[in-house]
Amino acid sequence: MNYLFSSESVSEGHPDKVADQISDALVDQFLAYDDRAHCAIESFVTTGQVVIMGEVRSNVYIDLQTIARKTINQIGYNKSDYQFDGNSCGVLTAIHEQSDDINRGVSRADEEEQGAGDQGMMFGYATNETENYMPVTLDIAQLIMRVLADIRKEGKQMTYLRPDSKSQVTVEYSEEGIPQRIDTIVVSTQHDEFDSDDERMLAKIKDDVLNILMPRVKAEIHSEKVLALFGDDIKYFVNPTGKFVIGGPHGDTGLTGRKIIVDTYGGKGAHGGGAFSGKDPSKVDRSAAYAARYIAKNMVAAGVADEMLVQVSYAIGVAKPVNIYVNTYGRSRVQMSDGEIAQKIEKLFDLRPKAIERTLKLRQPIYRETAAYGHMGRKCEVVEKTFTSRYHETKVMKVELFTWEKLDRVDDIRKEFGI
Contact criterion met (CB below 8 Å) for 75 and 69: no
Strands 235-238 and 179-191, how do they pair? parallel
Establish whether 65 is an annotated binding residue.
no
The reply to whether 55 sits in an annotated binding site is yes
User: Is 297 assigned a ligand-binding role in the annotation?
Assistant: no
Cα–Cα distance measured from residue 75 to residue 20, given in angstroms and rounded to the nearest whole number: 12
183 is in an annotated binding site: no
The answer to whether 14 touches 166, Cβ cutoff 8 Å, is yes
Residue 242: Cβ within 10 Å count: 9
E strands present in 22-178: 38-46, 49-57, 90-97, 120-127, 161-173
Rounded to 5 degrees, φ, ψ at 207 are: -60, -40
204: left (phi over 0), alpha (psi -120 to 50) or beta: alpha
243 is in an annotated binding site: yes
Whether residue 349 contacts residue 384, with contact meaning beta carbons closer than 8 Å, is answered with no
CB distance 132 to 143 below 8 Å: no
Q: Determine whether the annotation assigns residue 166 to a binding site.
A: yes
Question: What amino acid is encoded at 26 in this protein?
Answer: L
CA distances from 328 to 77, 93, 126, 177 (A): 43, 45, 10, 12
> Would you say 83 is a known binding-site residue?
no
Residue 258 marked as a ligand binder: yes
Buried b (16+ CB within 10 A) or exposed e, 306-323: bbbbbbbbbeebebebee
Is 98 annotated to bind a ligand? Reply is yes
Cβ atoms of 144 and 187 within 8 Å: the answer is yes
Distance CA 220, CA 119 (A): 40
Contact present, 157 and 327 (Cβ < 8 Å)? no
Is 275 marked as a binding-site residue?
A: yes
Distance CA 83, CA 215 (A): 32
165 carries a ligand binding annotation: yes
Rounded CA gap, 248 and 81, in Å? 11
Q: How far apart are CA 362 and CA 306, in angstroms?
A: 28
Strand-pair category, 90-97 with 49-57: parallel
DSSP-based three-state secondary structure for 56:
strand
Q: Is 204 annotated as a binding residue?
A: no
CB 343 within 8 A of CB 349: no
Q: List binding-site positions for ATP.
A: 14, 164-166, 243-244, 252, 258-259, 275, 279
Q: List binding-site positions for K(+).
A: 42
Q: List binding-site positions for Mg(2+).
A: 16
Q: List binding-site positions.
A: 14, 16, 42, 55, 98, 164-166, 243-244, 252, 258-259, 275, 279, 283
Q: List binding-site positions for L-methionine.
A: 55, 98, 252, 283
